[in-house]
Structures are given as C-alpha cells and as structure tokens.
C-alpha cells in the first residue's frame, strides 16, 4: 500500500512513513494511492463483531507491511481498552429514523480519542523498532490537543508540543492539556485563533531545516492514520443498522473536515452511504463553498462550539484532490491561491463531484442552544454544542427513506456553560476526572511568531 501527496510532487511513502511524516514535503496531505474495497459479503461479515475486530478488518488493508497482523491486532486492543463503554461507539435512537453515534466515551471525552489512542500505540511501536525519536507538534481548537497529550504523555520516543488559541478553548479542554505532569508534553497558549496555530504548524513542516533538525511529526488529521482510524465507526454504526443491505446517511459536525472525510473513505470502500452532511457553526466556509463554489476565508468568530471555530479546513484539500481527478498540480494551484489571496473558486466539474457526496448546513448560536434544549426535553439526550449542530442539520435535512446517523463528537461536560445555559443542567465530568479543577496547570504563553515558536521547541527538547 502506497501513499501519495495531494500536491503530486512529494515522495511516495509506505503507511508507516506517511504516518511518521505528517505533512508531505510539497505541503500536501498523504492519501492512499488506491482505496481498498470491501464487498457486500465482507461488510455483512462484520455483523456481531466487536469494535476492535471491526477496526482490524476495516483498517488492515491500508497498513500494508508496516505492522504484522498480530502486532496490529494487539495495538488495536490496547488502544480501546480504556474506553468507558463496552461498545466503544454506541448508537442510540433519538427519533424514528434518527440515531446518535456517541463518540465521547474515550479518555478525553471526544471523538479524537478513537484515532489518537491508536496512533499513540502505532508511533511507540514503530519508533521503538526503528530506534528513533520524534517531536510531535499539534494545533488544536481544544480536543485534538487534549487527546494527543493523553495518548502520548510519558512515552519515551516522543516529545509533544500542542499549540492552542489562548482564551478560545473551554476550561475543561485547557485543563486537560495543561495539567498532565509528564515532562515530554508541553501545552502552548498562542496569541491567535486556531487557524493561526494550524498555519504555524504547517510553516514548521515547510521549514525543512527545523523539520529535519527536530524530526518533526504531526498528529493532526493531516496525518492519514488519524483519518483511517475514524473510518471504523462509520462501518460499525452502519452495520448495526443493517448495512450493506440498508443504506444510511451521516451528519457530521465539521471543522477541519477530517471526520467527514473518513466517512467519504468508508463510502469509497463500499459502505452504502447515501448522504454525508457537513454541519458547521457560524464559521461556515465549508457550507458556503458547497453552496456557491467559492472557498473564501473570513475572520474566525468565536462561538459556543469552539472546537469548530475554523476557517481554513485542512482536509478539504483531500476532497478537492479527488474532485479534481487526483490532479496534484491543480490542487497545488488552488492552495497557492488560498495562501496568497485568501480563497479560490472550485471549478464547476469539481463542485458537481463534491455535491455527489456532500450536503451541508449552517447553524447559528441561537439554534445551537435551542437544539440542546429540544434534544434534552424531547429526545432524552444531553448534547454538547458541536453535537447539537449535527442534530439540528440532520433534523432539517433527513428524509424518511434512509436512516440518519448524527455523530456526537464530544461529551457535554466539556462545555458545561453552554449546556447549562440551554438546558438548565450542568453536566458532571466522569468520576475519574473529578479533580481536574484542583490539578496544577503548566502552560507557556507564546506569540504568533514562527521563529519564536521554533526556538521555544528546540530549547525545550535540549533541556
Ligand atoms: C467536538 C468536535 N466536534 C467536531 C469537530 C470537527 O471535526 P473535524 O475537524 O474533523 O471536521 C471537532 C474538531 O475537530 C471537535 O473537537
Ligand atoms: N477541532 C480540532 C481542530 C484540529 O483538528 P484535527 O482533526 O485536524 O486534529 C481540535 O479539537 O483541535
């Protein structure tokens, strides 16, 4: 199995090398050269399997020779052992034909744990075997950072630096990043918004002297392994509703387009998915793009769903690569226009191709609060604001022929203020996190400046 860059001119890599590299050296994102498929019988055979067994069967063809069957199976088992629900990703019914996929039973209470817990294991295994060490730098609007710190803390083959936007993550998210005491993890509060954090991260990858000196690696969804691990729950949930003999649709609260892109990969693999619906908050670049064809950045407006306060949506590049017939030069040109002019227009052909798979909807702050209240009263489910955005768009767009699965991407207790304002209920953190607010915080404030950030990282590694 080989991986190619969306911009067409970086070296072709194996799964393991793509995983350890993060961003491709031409600035693009790695994708599989070809997408392995599963037949209807292969999918039917997933009925009754555990989440871990499903994960093995869905992901195995993408991994190639990088890990043996036995090792890969063991690492999957270790990854999900700490989840707080036997099903790992339970499906609950909200209304006739509408289901909620609860992805918040992992250690940091967000869907990021599904991928991060696994790639923590894969990194440690691969780096120990190779006798190598890497520096992971991640950008977060709250959940990726906490999941990464949780998954990589204390591992001896990695140092982890997480850039988060100062003052723009929830208090629970911040404390999850700043309270672990392990010396290999570092939380950095950047003066800026999430797009600044992500832009500086990409600058570091494109600054080859720094990249090679610190042996830079990434665990954002620029890393293909992150996307791959998220493909699994599309299969597990669709199968539990009757796939491959019944089609389903998914609505996905979306920011960086990684989670919904995993759904697109599941569809390409053969899972009968009807619609993939992008649900955005007021930072709605994806909804605007799918509606008009114009991908034009705007200022990031803080919202009550802070993890989705994103205007430059990294993985959209992977969708564009397919929509432009896998033409890396065309994608590179669009990304240059984005960098230099703040946007681009998607060609008619590419837009039509995107619309064959994706629908979209945008939810205001008021609608988000109203949906939390409605779901609590009428559906018996306390939603986080991100999941509420998904439920609102799903309710607006679903039809009676095809079951709709909405992804619940975080636990309501990560965003207690918004949930309490909407429902009158202040959700509690699980018992194992009950002392989160008593733990000591460790954080470095930093300017939005590439050189200063690189110096900070190099100094920390050397000390
Ligand atoms: C709770 C939550 N919901 C939704 C999203 C959006 O997911 P994606 O960036 O994969 O589109 C994020 C951040 O990634 C998140 O943390
Ligand atoms: N919402 C994310 C933003 C980063 O997304 P990623 O999937 O690319 O890691 C977050 O919570 O940090």
What's the gap in Å between 23 CA and the centre of ligand 2? 15
Q: What is the DSSP letter of 83?
A: -
Q: Where are the alpha helices (DSSP H) in 133-257?
A: 143-152, 171-178, 194-206, 208-214, 224-240
Q: How far is the CA of 259 from the centre of ligand 1 (A)?
A: 7
| Residue 10 banded pLDDT, cuts 50, 70, 90 | very high
* Whole-number average pLDDT of the chain: 97
283 close to ligand 2 (CB < 6 Angstrom): no
Total Cβ atoms within 10 A of residue 390: 30
Which residue ranges make up each domain of the chain? Answer: 91-107+224-423
110 and 146 in contact (C-beta within 8 Å)?
yes
CB of 322 shorter than 6 A to ligand 1: no
Strand 248-253 vs strand 444-446: parallel, antiparallel, or unpaired?
unpaired
User: Could you tell me which of 440, 443, 437, 435 has the C-alpha nearest to residue 171?
Assistant: 437
Q: Looking at the predicted structure, is the pLDDT value of residue 339 above 90? A: yes
Using omega within 30 degrees of 0 as the cis cutoff, is the peptide bond preceding 214 cis? Answer: no
The share of the chain scoring above pLDDT 70, in percent, equals 100
Would you place residue 463 in the very low, low, confident or very high pLDDT band (cuts 50, 70, 90)? confident
Answer CATH for 91-107+224-423 from 3.30.9.30, 3.40.640.10, 3.40.50.1100, 3.10.580.10: 3.40.50.1100
Instruction: Provide the pLDDT for residue 108.
Output: 98
ipTM entry: 0.99
Predicted confidence at residue 50, as pLDDT, reads: 98
> What pTM value is reported for the model?
0.97
Ligand nearest to the CA of 109: 1
Report whether residue 258 contacts ligand 1, using a CB cutoff of 6 Å: yes
Using DSSP's 3-state secondary structure scheme, residue 158 falls into strand
143 lines ligand 2 (CB under 6 A): yes
Annotated active-site positions, please?
Answer: 112
Ligand number nearest CA of 143 is: 2
pLDDT confidence bin for 428, thresholds 50/70/90: very high
The number of the ligand nearest the C-alpha atom of 316 reads: 1
User: Residue 194 C-alpha to ligand 2 middle, in angstroms?
Assistant: 9
pLDDT tens digits for 204-256? 999 999 999 999 999 999 999 999 999 999 999 999 999 999 999 999 999 99
Structure-token match 């630096």, residue found: 161
Q: Using an 8 Å Cβ cutoff, are 23 and 7 in contact?
A: no
CA distance 122 to 127: 8
- Tell me the pLDDT tens digit for each residue of 430-439: 999 999 999 9
CA dihedral 454, 455, 456, 462 (to 10 degrees): 110
Residue with tokens 């000390």: 463
d(CA 56, CA 76): 7
* Secondary structure of residue 167 in the 3-state scheme: coil
Q: Which of 116, 168, 254, 415 should be mutated for ligand 1, with most atoms under 8 A from CB?
A: 254
> Per the omega criterion (within 30 degrees of 0), is the bond before 244 cis?
yes
367 in contact with ligand 1, CB cutoff 6 A = no
Task: Provide the token pair at 296.
Answer: 């034009």
Report how far apart, in Å, the C-alpha atoms of 64 and of each of 3, 69, 115, 365, 386 are: 11, 10, 18, 44, 35
Residue nearest to atom 15 of ligand 1 (CA): 307
Q: Which atom of ligand 2 is nearest to 173's Cα?
A: 11
Q: What is the mean pLDDT of residues 88-105?
A: 98
pLDDT in tens, 166-191: 999 999 999 999 999 999 999 999 99
pLDDT exceeds cutoff 90 at 272: yes
- Cα 386 to ligand 1 centroid, rounded to whole Å: 8
3-state SS class at 323? helix
**What mean pLDDT do residues 78-93 have?**
97
């Amino acid at each position: 199995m080989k991986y190619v860059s969306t911009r067409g001119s970086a070296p072709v890599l194996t799964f393991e090398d793509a995983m350890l590299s993060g961003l491709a050296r031409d600035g693009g994102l790695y994708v599989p050269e070809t997408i392995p498929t599963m037949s209807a019988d292969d999918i039917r055979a997933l009925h009754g399997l555990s989440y871990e067994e499903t994960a093995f069967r869905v992901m195995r063809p993408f991994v190639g020779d990088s890990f043996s069957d036995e090792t890969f199976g063991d690492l999957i088992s270790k990854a999900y052992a700490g989840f707080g629900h036997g099903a790992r990703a339970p499906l609950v019914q909200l209304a006739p034909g509408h289901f909620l996929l609860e992805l918040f039973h992992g250690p940091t209470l967000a869907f990021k744990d599904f991928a991060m817990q696994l790639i923590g294991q894969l990194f440690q295994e691969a780096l120990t075997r190779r006798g190598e060490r890497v520096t992971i730098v991640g950008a977060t609007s709250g959940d990726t950072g906490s999941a990464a710190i949780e998954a990589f803390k204390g591992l001896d083959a990695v140092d982890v630096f997480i850039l988060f936007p100062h003052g723009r993550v929830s208090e629970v998210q911040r404390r999850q990043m700043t309270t672990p005491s392990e010396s290999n993890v570092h939380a950095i509060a950047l003066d800026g918004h999430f797009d600044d954090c992500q832009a500086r991260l990409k600058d570091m990858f494109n600054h080859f002297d720094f990249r090679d000196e610190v042996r830079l690696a990434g665990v954002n969804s620029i890393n293909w392994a992150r996307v791959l691990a998220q493909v699994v729950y599309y299969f597990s949930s669709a199968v539990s509703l009757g796939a491959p003999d019944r089609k389903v649709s998914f609505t996905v609260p979306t920011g960086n387009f990684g989670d919904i892109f995993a759904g697109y990969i599941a569809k390409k693999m053969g899972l009968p998915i009807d619609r993939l619906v992008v649900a955005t908050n007021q930072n709605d670049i994806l909804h605007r793009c799918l509606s008009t064809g114009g991908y034009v950045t705007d200022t990031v407006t803080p919202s009550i769903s802070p993890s989705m306060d994103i205007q430059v949506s990294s993985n959209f590049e992977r969708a564009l690569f397919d929509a432009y017939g896998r033409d890396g030069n065309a994608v590179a040109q669009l990304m240059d226009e984005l960098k230099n002019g703040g946007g681009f227009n998607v060609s008619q052909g590419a837009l039509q191709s995107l619309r064959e798979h994706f629908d979209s909807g945008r939810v205001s702050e008021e609608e988000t609060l109203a949906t939390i209240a409605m779901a609590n009263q009428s559906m018996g489910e306390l939603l986080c604001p991100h999941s509420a955005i998904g439920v609102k768009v799903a309710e607006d767009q679903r039809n009676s022929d095809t079951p709709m699965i909405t992804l619940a991407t975080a636990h309501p207790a990560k965003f207690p203020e918004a949930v309490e304002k909407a429902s009158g209920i202040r959700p509690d953190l699980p018992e194992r996190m009950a002392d989160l607010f008593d733990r000591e915080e460790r954080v470095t404030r930093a300017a939005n400046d590439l050189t200063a950030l690189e110096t900070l990282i190099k100094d920390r590694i050397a000390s």
